[in-house]
Each structure stands twice: as structure tokens, then as C-alpha cells.
Amino acid sequence: MKVDDIKTIGVCGAGTMGAGIVQLAAQSGFNVKVIDVQEAFIQRGMSIITKNLGRLLSKERISQADHDAIMGRISASTDATVMADADFVIEAILEEVEAKKALFAQLEAVCRPDVVFATNTSSISVTQLAGVSARPDRIVGMHFFNPVPVMKLVEIIPALQTKAEAVDLTIELTKKLGRTPVPCKDTPSFIVNRILVPMIIDAVRVYDSGVATAADIDTAMKLGANLPMGPLELADFVGLDIVYHIGNMLFEYTKEARFNPPDLLRNMVQAGWLGRKTGKGFYDYAERT
Ligand code: 3HC
């Protein structure tokens, strides 16, 4: 299959990442079929897209006709058989091997045999996921960044079993989505998270040892290192549970203490202070929501 043969992209999972991928694909001119397991998850994902496109419309970045055409290209369902129409599938469901394995089985039953299944996993080995699929040579890591409509990078991760043509197709599709593909070996956290997460973890240690307030640490890093967000603000944005999980995984893999999440991070996660999504993390979002 050539990239120009891809007309319809299937997206599995309508969470923050899935919704972002749906929006990006529809804005790039593809028809998009999105599935999730519950109608409520689909509603939530569609409301993220509606809000984002509404913002682009009000800023006159897109016309009303563009807006309507983008929305018209998206169709959502809780029925995985709609994926029979997909020429390329991107999964962004929960980070559990068993859940992904069950999804692959559903997709394998309905999708054409030449369809590539890309995974947006950030914390599971792509080779392991290929191993639980019946078409391991067509599983490719395609790791997007949050917020997907804004972030230009996609890490491309072949599993050990992946055929070169599936990787090439994923790279070409990434370019058609207006994103920059960066190939990367299948190693824990790939490139960005492997560098970014220890920086966030270090910022938590700096904060915990009373060097400065969270706001001052973030201001210092924004102005002194030219980051768009300070590391603690970014932790709240990404989710403290995700940072904690990735830190733990890297620590397990490398045994390097620098990856080991500090007690404060673990306690905050256990307290349910996960950042923006729960209204509290290093900052309080209750008043802003
Ligand atoms: N969805 C869609 N668009 C969004 C958005 C969202 N959630 N948040 C902001 N935007 C858009 C705005 O509409 C605006 O668009 P415009 O330029 O066309 O007007 C543009 O982004 C800039 O937004 P703002 O002016 O409101 O705010 P900022 O200038 O502060 O930018 C930001 C917001 C883009 C989120 C910026 O702060 C940023 O880049 N932060 C760092 C994000 C980052 O590092 N992400 C990677 C996290 S790691 C990851 O995702 C990996 C995973 O595996 C954990």
C-alpha cells in the first residue's frame, strides 16, 4: 500500500490523545473512524474536538466551511466492525497489554490484511505488542505528543518483527499529517520521555528540598531554559500518574537512581493529585475549571 491509498484512518480510543489524533487526521483531509468502548468516552472525545475546532473558528484560523468539512469527515462508534473501512489504524487506548491484545484481535477480524496497526503507546514495548498481535510485521509505534494538534513530533518505533514497508508507510503518513517523524529503537520511553521525565523528576526533587516554590521553579525554567512550560506545570499537564509510571519503568529498566520517582511524587499520585485532570497537582485548578 502507498500513502496516497490511505483515505480513511481508524483511531481506537477517544481520550485526550485519541481525540487529538482524530482532529489532526480530519484536519489533514482524511476520513476518520473513531471507536471507543463506551458512548460517554466518545462524547467526551468529540467535545474536545468540537471545542478545539470552535477555538480555531473563532480565531479565524479556519472558515465555517472548513469547520463543517472537518466535522463531516469524522464518524464515531462503539462498534469495532466500522474499522473494516480503515486503510490505516492508530490505537490510543489504555496502556494495558491485555486491552491492546483484545483490540488487535477485533481489528484483525475486520481489517484488510495489508492494514498497518500503529500504536501510540508511551510505555509498553512495541515488540511486546507485536508479539500479541496476529500480524506482528504490521505493528508500528507511532508516538504523538500532547496536545496533538499543536505538537509537531511523532516518534516512529518499529518492533523487532515490523516489516520495513510498514515503517515507511507510517513515516509517509506522519508527513502527510504535517508532523515530523523521528525514527527510534524500541527501548523504554523512546527519546523524548526518556529525557523529559527525568528532568521533571529532578524538578520535583528541587521543589521537595525547598529550593524554591513551584511557580518560581517553573518561571526559572521557562525563562532560563526557554521552555514553553515549566517542568512542574508540564507534570500537571501530562498527569502525575503518567510521569510516575514512566519514571518507575525507566528505573526498573536501567536501575539508575535518577529515574526513581521521589516519595513526594508517589504520595501525590496516591492522594489522587494527578494534575489538571483531577483539579490538583503542583497547582490548584479548581478555580480555573
Ligand atoms: N489542544 C489543541 N490546541 C491547543 C491546546 C490543546 N490542548 N492547548 C493549546 N492549544 C493551541 C492554542 O489554541 C494556540 O493556538 P494558536 O497559536 O493557533 O492560537 C496554541 O496552542 C498556543 O496556545 P496558548 O497560547 O493558549 O498557550 P501556550 O502558548 O502556553 O501553548 C502549549 C500551550 C502548546 C500547551 C505549550 O505550553 C506547550 O508546548 N507546552 C509543552 C507541551 C509539551 O511538552 N508536551 C509534551 C508532553 S510529553 C508527551 O505528550 C508524551 C506522552 O507520552 C506523555
- Residue pLDDT, tens place only, 52-91: 999 999 999 999 999 999 999 999 999 999 999 999 999 9
At the topology level of CATH, where does 194-270 sit? N-(1-d-carboxylethyl)-l-norvaline Dehydrogenase; domain 2 (1.10.1040)
Query: Atom 12, ligand 1: which residue's CA is nearest?
Result: 150
- Is a pLDDT exceeding 80 seen at residue 288? no
Contact partners, residue 222, CB within 8 Å, separation at least 6: 228, 229, 230
- Is a pLDDT exceeding 70 seen at residue 234? yes
Which atom of ligand 1 lies closest to the CA of 149?
2
- Is a pLDDT exceeding 70 seen at residue 289? no
The grid cell for 69 is 468539512
Pick left, alpha or beta for residue 163 (phi over 0 → left; psi -120 to 50 → alpha; otherwise beta): beta
Instruction: Say if CB 217 and CB 232 are below 8 A apart.
Output: yes
Predicted confidence at residue 286, as pLDDT, reads 83
147 CA to centre of ligand 1 in angstroms: 5
Instruction: Say if CB 33 and CB 18 are below 8 A apart.
Output: no
At the topology level of CATH, where does 3-183 sit? Rossmann fold (3.40.50)
Pocket test for ligand 1, best of 22, 148, 150 (most atoms within 8 A of CB): 150
Contact partners, residue 124, CB within 8 Å, separation at least 6: 95, 97, 100
The average confidence (pLDDT) of the chain is 97
**C-alpha dihedral over 276, 232, 96, 135, to 10 degrees?**
110
Nearest one of 140, 137, 88 to 111, comparing CA atoms: 88
DSSP 118: E
Q: How far apart are CA 141 and CA 90, in angstroms?
A: 9
What share of residues in the chain are helix, strand, coil (percent, to 5)? 55, 15, 35
Selected residue with higher pLDDT from 123 and 49: 49
> What is the sign, positive or negative, of the torsion defined by CA atoms of 152, 65, 11, 239?
positive
Which residue ranges does the chain devote to CATH 1.10.1040.10? 194-270
Predicted confidence at residue 173, as pLDDT, reads 98
Q: Which helix (H) or strand (E) covers residue 201, if one does?
A: helix 192-208
Q: Is 110 in the pocket of ligand 1 (CB under 6 A)?
A: no
Per-residue pLDDT tens over the stretch 177-224: 999 999 999 999 999 999 999 999 999 999 999 999 999 999 999 999
228 CA to centre of ligand 1 in angstroms: 8
Q: pLDDT above 90 covers what percent of the chain? A: 98
Whole-model pTM: value is: 0.96
Q: Which helix (H) or strand (E) covers residue 76, if one does?
A: strand 74-77
- Single-letter code of the amino acid located at 13: G
Which residue ranges does the chain devote to CATH 3.40.50.720? 3-183
- Single-letter code of the amino acid located at 121: T
30-56 average pLDDT score: 97
Predicted confidence at residue 9, as pLDDT, reads 98
- Is a pLDDT exceeding 80 seen at residue 18? yes
114-130 average pLDDT score: 97
Per-residue pLDDT tens over the stretch 156-187: 999 999 999 999 999 999 999 999 999 999 99
Per-residue pLDDT tens over the stretch 110-121: 999 999 999 999
Cβ atoms < 10 Å from Cβ of 13? 24
Instruction: Say if CB 240 and CB 265 are below 8 A apart.
Output: yes
- Single-letter code of the amino acid located at 15: G
Q: pLDDT above 70 covers what percent of the chain? A: 99
Predicted confidence at residue 216, as pLDDT, reads 98
